[in-house]
Amino acid sequence: MIKDTGAVDAASILFNLDEYKVLSVGTSPAGRTVVVEPISTEAGCPSCGVISSRIQARPVHRVKDVSCGGRDLEVRVRKRRLACLETACERCSFVQSTDQLPLRSRLTTRLVGAIVEAASTEVRSVAGIAAAHGVTWPTVMRKLTDIGQMVGNVDYRFVRRLGIDEHRFRRVRFVRNASGKVQRIEPWSIVFTDLDTGMILDVVDGKRGATVLKWISQRPRYWRQRVHYVAIDMSTEFRKAVRKALPKAKVSVDHFHVVAKTNEMVTNVRRRRSHEKVGRRGRMTEPQYRYRKLLTCNLENLSNRQTERLKEVLAADTELGIIYAIKEHVRDLLRTTNIDDFQRRWAVLEKSVKASKLKEARSLFGTLKMWRKELLVFCRTRLTNARSEAANLTAKNMKRIGRGYTNHGNYRLRILLSAQGLRPC
């Protein structure tokens, strides 16, 4: 039995465009030119569906395709305008179309796929993607926008642990308002992350808790009921918004920021003691300043030599030794994993702070008292905001490679495409 296998010539195989065969290939000073046409000689009318093979015209269109052979390639498609054979049909003729070249498309489907894949898998600027594929910047953004309509719908995602963090979207600007006063504007973006998978759910323009409240309130009730835990930084506005929008969800504070505030407390005491002793900031000739980074390091990670240096620094200043001990009490508190140990470590910390009578220690303990409930949730669940911080890093890298964004919609689209790894069908 003989069966037609279609175009099997070498040029068609090398060009490798589905449903098309190569008619001719030529060269010119500007590059190479290839003429192709559809393999199928018949098609159905888009209006009535009647199959027709009567050719009315053969228009030739220029289309963009992926690069081939390392040189510019101009693709010309000789289509068939077929006459509709159905007398009752209002359409007299129609142009043959395929999956690789839809109707009125000037880009092949595989070129669109290459553009979307470059934007989704690589941290590249839109201008760089456009130059690499021989198209314009608006063309790339138009295709990304069409594909991007399929991302960003988080209502159908099962999110049990939600992460919230913010980062600066654009540089700080100073504008004059209606009253004539100069106003400082800091454009911020809030990133919502699924902490179980690390996937970015959405990027919203804004910084305040009202933005978080609005975004969560827009989710369906079944979506909000699924969220059991929310990890945030030490932001009272975020906590207030989460408690109002998700009253049944438990809030966990990121321990990284707690340790950062503790190290800041130690640094403030070291600076204050330096000004009290010599009336100026520290110098490299002084051990307290020369080995200042040892005061913020984990004690168990220090070498024997570093430990001896740390002991010398703490022995030279009593207040510095006391504040360092309080810092270690805070770290011991964060190591607990159950309620009993947490209450015991909390009592030790409170007793040490009251005995020290240091204003820096009292200020830190007052902040910890405000976040005691969230600290307990962290100690029991060990839920951090690390994946939200990683998502913020992805967004910042996208912003840097794009040399800044002025349109938040384009910024959000690039981040979601890169984070969710969308591939064209």
| Mean pLDDT within 320-340 | 93
| Bridging pattern class, strands 81-83 and 161-168 | unpaired
Most confidently predicted of 16-20, 156-160, 376-380: 376-380
Please give the Cα distance from 189 to 166 (Å, whole number). Answer: 6
Question: What residue spans define the domains of the chain?
Answer: 1-106, 161-254+385-420, 255-381
HSE-CB at 172 with a 13 A cutoff on CA atoms is 4
Please give the Cα distance from 320 to 332 (Å, whole number). Answer: 19
Least confident of 111-125, 147-161, 345-359: 147-161
DSSP 201: E
Least confident of 53-57, 220-224, 256-260, 307-311: 53-57
pTM value? 0.76
**Predicted local confidence at residue 365, as pLDDT:** 95
Partners of residue 35 on adjacent β-strands? 24, 76
**Predicted local confidence at residue 403, as pLDDT:** 67
Whether residue 137 contacts residue 130, with contact meaning beta carbons closer than 8 Å, is answered with yes
Phi, psi of 174 (to 5 degrees): -120, 120
pLDDT at 106 over 80: yes
Partners of residue 247 on adjacent β-strands? none
Our CA angle for 416, 159, 203, nearest 5°, is 30
pLDDT > 90 fraction of the chain, expressed in percent and rounded: 35
- Enter the tokens of residue 365: 């303990």
- Enter the tokens of residue 55: 């050719």
**Predicted local confidence at residue 120, as pLDDT:** 78
Please give the Cα distance from 170 to 187 (Å, whole number). Answer: 6
Radius of gyration of the chain (CA): 32
Burial class of residue 389, CB neighbours in 10 A (0-12, 13-18, 19+): middle
Please give the Cα distance from 383 to 251 (Å, whole number). Answer: 9
| Mean pLDDT within 77-93 | 86
Phi, psi of 371 (to 5 degrees): -115, 25
DSSP 295: G
Looking at CATH, the fold of the domain delimited by 161-254+385-420 is given as Nucleotidyltransferase; domain 5 (3.30.420)
DSSP 204-256: EE--SHHHHHHHHHTS-HHHHHH--EEEE-S-HHHHHHHHHH-TTSEEEE-HH
- Enter the tokens of residue 110: 């595989």
- Enter the tokens of residue 184: 């400082």
Nearest to residue 164, comparing CAs of 220, 213, 218, 223?
213
More confident residue, 3 or 381: 381
pLDDT at 384 over 50: yes
- pLDDT category, 349, cuts 50, 70, 90? very high
Least confident of 118-122, 196-200, 252-256, 296-300: 118-122
**Predicted local confidence at residue 392, as pLDDT:** 85
**Predicted local confidence at residue 149, as pLDDT:** 64
- pLDDT category, 420, cuts 50, 70, 90? low
Nearest to residue 332, comparing CAs of 235, 257, 232, 259?
259
- On average, the pLDDT of the chain sits at 86
**Predicted local confidence at residue 71, as pLDDT:** 67
Whether residue 25 contacts residue 12, with contact meaning beta carbons closer than 8 Å, is answered with no
**Predicted local confidence at residue 2, as pLDDT:** 43
| Mean pLDDT within 117-122 | 80
* pLDDT tens readout for residues 152-185: 578 888 999 999 998 887 777 788 888 888 888 7
